[in-house]
Structure 1
Amino acid sequence: MVDADQTFVIVGGGLAGAKAAETLRAEGFKGRVILIGDERDHPYERPPLSKGYLLDKDSRDSVFVHEPAWYARHDVELHLGQTVTAIDRDARTVRLGDGTVIRFDKLLLATGAEPRRLDVPGTTLAGVHHLRRLAHSERLRDELRALGRDNGHLVIAGAGWIGLEVAAAARTYGAEVTVIETDPTPLHRVLGPELGQLFADLHTEHGVRFHFGARLTEITGQDGMVLAVRTDDGEEHPAHAVLIAIGAAPRTALAENAGLALVDRADGGGVAVDESLCSSDPDIYAAGDVAAFDHPLLHHRIRVEHWANALNGGPAAARAMLGRPVSYDRVPYFFSDQYDLGMEYSGWAPPGSYDQVVVRGDTGKREFIAFWIKEGRVIAGMNVNVWDVTDPIQSLIRSRTQVDTEALANPSVPLDSLVP
């Protein structure tokens, strides 16, 4: 029985951690709730950092999960700007960077992920950026404004979601943009060759230059400032700023040092948790980007680095910590906005996991739904500039039943009618 004498500690001051704290109080937990974050800002949401906030359309206050006064009002103790340096599983304590030791009855790891680094010369030059934190977005926004004003050139290493969203923002500010990508199309490892070209065409129409099949090998500069980048095929591209957007790695060092079970890096990494988000230690849970969980619906262990997983995973872990029965089976979901294209993606269809892609609508007009099919079953769907279809797409995925692909491709057949 959970009572007022217990202490639940949350390590990680992002969306997953903040929503977990909120859920603990909403579910009636009367004990201590301590949330520890290594940033000085209150917990905030990350999608605006490459979307509305980067474009100066969203205010700074709008990115925070709760207003600052919410935490004191709900008796959530905040330790901001503090790093947890160690977990002592025997003593049931965490140690902070300033030496403070905090005892816990249950512990949630919501430590998130961090940008992967390029191990090449020149990454310490002024004008080299990563995008993960609020301060990163603010520095990058200032840079994009200056590049747009001065007709400057931004080079982006990586054509994933972050790279493309920043490319769209940079062009909106008026900067010149070159994207360097090792794969043959943008988003190749997410959307495959079938739809990656659509995003290449979209950005090319807006003036972005792509250099595919190449790897950035050096950033050159003068007087500490970026001047150009070089790639492994001998090409050189002018640059006044560089964004490294080659993915993110789960922040597992704390869990690893504590002896918790991890997933191999080749399989995506992360803290290994079961369907209730419980780790190999029955009193320690993980949620958000750092958690690699057994998905009850997909029958596969996955790690999801998207907003919806933090939004829903934090509350699920909180309920599990309270002893509630939890089977975390949310269909993975994310969204992106680039220029006049808006999209939503539901499901899980990594390369090699599907047989075909079925399209409903007009890809030329960029108004369509794409479905990834495995053995006649929908395993993922992406709607592009078509709205209010996420529920039927997710229902098709959940049903795990075979569908008539001709009907699936026919816009005159209501999607709801294909759901058993």
Structure 2
Amino acid sequence: MIGADPHIVIVGAGQAGLQAAETLRSEAFEGRITLLGAEPHPPYQRPPLSKAWLTDHLDPEQLTLRDLSVLERKQIDLCTGTSVSAIDVKSQSVLLHDGRALTYSGLVLATGATPRQLPQAQGAGDLVCTLRSRADADVIARRLRNCAQGELPLVVVGGGFIGLEVAASARKLGIAVTILEAASRLLERVLSQDLSDWYARLHADRGTTLIFDARIAEIRKTSDHAAEVRLADGTCIVAGLVVVGIGVTPNDELARNAGIACETGIVVDACGRTSVPNIVAAGDCTVRRLSDGSMLRLESVQNAVEQGRSAASALLGAEKPSLGAPWFWSDQYEMKLQIAGLSRGADTHVLRGDMESHSFSIFHFSESCLVAVDSINAARDHMIARDLIGRRISPTAQQAGDTTFNLAKLRTVLA
């Protein structure tokens, strides 16, 4: 599939791009591999950026995914601080920001996503931050230390995972926190009402102020270099820092300009193939077209890794679709949420365990079939759920809610 003089170029040196490069080598690809990263750092983990990185509980070496020596040994040519300005599909080349061009026989697009900005915050300058990169996290960590020293509060706009994780990190540093959520509850798109309410109590019990149905009119910088957040109802909140976590936009502009099919992301199949031969895509920049014609976007480390693996295999002519049950996690305070499957469309929700014990799971069913499980400090439930959902084995709602019933037995009884 990749022809003579093989050279695979990977645009994006995050989790998906790195996985694609390493998969190519593990599947005996002997041609050149060039991994292009716009940031100055080698590939690193993003999940800790909203947690341990902000509280200085992580060494820089722990953030790095692969040492440069490992990439050199695998003959993966990493080019940091290098961005791509255009793709020429006809000549099979990418134009770099410095004017150079690289020809490719295969191309992987792992361009990630960009945080959405808040238009009402244009007058606040650098007192308003978003979190995506290590550089973003470094700025936020520094400003959080200033907030702690000056006893200035933090305002978080958005009650999603990023916002809640940053809020928890700030509270650990002793900073007063207010969360502004436009919806009527936290994590409305991904969690059931009961679990949303549980998270609201968790954060409120730790001293965070939660404001729902919040409408921001303006955020501006005051004369004493603080940020004033004014809501539509007239409420004003003064803060030393505002962190905005209102979602991301897939980085599909390169692909779109090159004529590659895009629809709220680069459209791929289960193997990461795009609409153009010899070009695949993986990670947060993609949207997957399902067999029923619907579109699915997943933003997680697991999805980036699995798509990176599948996309690399597809370039080598192998059919290794990414079809496993999606999973995700979030750490807030000492609570670990682990999600297996997708709960959208579920019509029945069953609690397993006691929510007050801070160790429980919520099982989601659609037409009596298990589709997702949300687990809090219940790693065993999570691992079993991933296996059951992936193999389409479903307990009954009664079995799921009965803590004396051994769910693991289903894997052998019904296999």
Q: Which interval holds the TM-score relative to the shorter structure?
A: over 0.9
Identify if the C-alpha distance between structure 1 residues 155 and 81 changes in structure 2 by more than 3 Å, giving closer, same or farther.
Answer: same
**1:334 correspondence with 2:325:** no
Alpha carbons 1:157, 1:243 under 8 Å: kept: yes
Identify the residue that residue 114 of structure 1 maps to in structure 2: 114
Identify the residue that residue 240 of structure 1 maps to in structure 2: 240
Q: Give distance in 1, aligned partners of 2:148 and 2:5.
A: 56
Identify the residue that residue 392 of structure 2 maps to in structure 1: 400
Identify the residue that residue 191 of structure 2 maps to in structure 1: 191
* Aligned-residue offset at 1:390: 2.7
Q: Where does 1:3-14 land on structure 2 (aligned, <5 Å)? A: 5-14=5-14
1:364-413, CA deviations, whole angstroms, 9 ceiling, x for partnerless residues? 12210111111011111111011233332023323435532111101100
Alpha carbons 1:278, 1:284 under 8 Å: kept: yes
Alpha carbons 1:2, 1:29 under 8 Å: kept: no
For structure 2, list consecutive stretches of 5 or more residues without a partner in the other structure.
none
Identify if the C-alpha distance between structure 1 residues 317 and 201 changes in structure 2 by more than 3 Å, giving closer, same or farther.
Answer: same
Matched length: 412
Q: Where does 1:240-319 land on structure 2 (aligned, <5 Å)? A: 240-263=240-263, 269-295=264-290, 300-319=294-313
Q: Give distance in 2, aligned partners of 1:52 and 1:133.
A: 14
- Which amino acid in structure 2 is aligned with residue 103 of structure 1? T
* Aligned-residue offset at 1:140: 0.9
- Which amino acid in structure 2 is aligned with residue 133 of structure 1? S
Q: Give distance in 1, aligned partners of 2:396 and 2:23.
A: 41
Q: Give distance in 2, aligned partners of 1:346 and 1:401.
A: 14
Q: Give distance in 2, aligned partners of 1:366 and 1:217.
A: 37
* Aligned-residue offset at 1:223: 4.2
Alpha carbons 1:13, 1:35 under 8 Å: kept: yes
Identify if the C-alpha distance between structure 1 residues 224 and 119 changes in structure 2 by more than 3 Å, giving closer, same or farther.
Answer: farther
Output the aligned Cα RMSD.
1.7
* Aligned-residue offset at 1:300: 4.8
- Which amino acid in structure 1 is aligned with residue 302 of structure 2? A
1:53-84, CA deviations, whole angstroms, 9 ceiling, x for partnerless residues? 22211111111110022222222122211111
Alpha carbons 2:40, 2:80 under 8 Å: kept: yes
* Aligned-residue offset at 1:362: 0.5
| SS state at 1:225 partner | coil
| SS state at 2:191 partner | helix
* Aligned-residue offset at 1:4: 7.0
Which segment is superposed worse, 209-218 or 401-410?
401-410
Identify the residue that residue 141 of structure 1 maps to in structure 2: 141
Q: Give distance in 2, aligned partners of 1:181 and 1:88.
A: 42
Identify the residue that residue 406 of structure 2 maps to in structure 1: 414
* Aligned-residue offset at 1:308: 1.2
Identify the residue that residue 157 of structure 1 maps to in structure 2: 157
TM-score scaled by length of structure 2: 0.95
Identify the residue that residue 228 of structure 2 maps to in structure 1: 228
Q: Give distance in 2, aligned partners of 1:403 and 1:73.
A: 47
Q: Where does 1:52-67 land on structure 2 (aligned, <5 Å)? A: 52-67=52-67
Identify if the C-alpha distance between structure 1 residues 148 and 120 changes in structure 2 by more than 3 Å, giving closer, same or farther.
Answer: same
| SS state at 2:270 partner | coil
Identify the residue that residue 17 of structure 1 maps to in structure 2: 17
* Aligned-residue offset at 1:3: 6.8
**1:372 correspondence with 2:364:** yes
Q: Give distance in 1, aligned partners of 2:217 and 2:14.
A: 33
Q: Give distance in 2, aligned partners of 1:153 and 1:301.
A: 40
* Aligned-residue offset at 1:35: 0.8
* Aligned-residue offset at 1:224: 7.9
Identify the residue that residue 355 of structure 1 maps to in structure 2: 347
| SS state at 1:391 partner | helix
Identify if the C-alpha distance between structure 1 residues 123 and 81 changes in structure 2 by more than 3 Å, giving closer, same or farther.
Answer: farther
Q: Give distance in 1, aligned partners of 2:316 and 2:357.
A: 49
| SS state at 1:117 partner | coil
Q: Give distance in 2, aligned partners of 1:54 and 1:403.
A: 40
For structure 1, list consecutive stretches of 5 or more residues without a partner in the other structure.
264-268
Alpha carbons 1:129, 1:244 under 8 Å: kept: yes
Q: Where does 1:123-142 land on structure 2 (aligned, <5 Å)? A: 124-142=124-142
- Which amino acid in structure 2 is aligned with residue 225 of structure 1? H
- Which amino acid in structure 2 is aligned with residue 354 of structure 1? A
Q: Give distance in 1, aligned partners of 2:86 and 2:228.
A: 41
Alpha carbons 2:127, 2:227 under 8 Å: kept: no
- Which amino acid in structure 1 is aligned with residue 365 of structure 2? I
TM-score scaled by length of structure 1: 0.94
Q: Give distance in 2, aligned partners of 1:105 and 1:289.
A: 23
Q: Between the two proteins, what is the percent identity of the paired residues?
A: 36
Q: Give distance in 2, aligned partners of 1:138 and 1:189.
A: 29
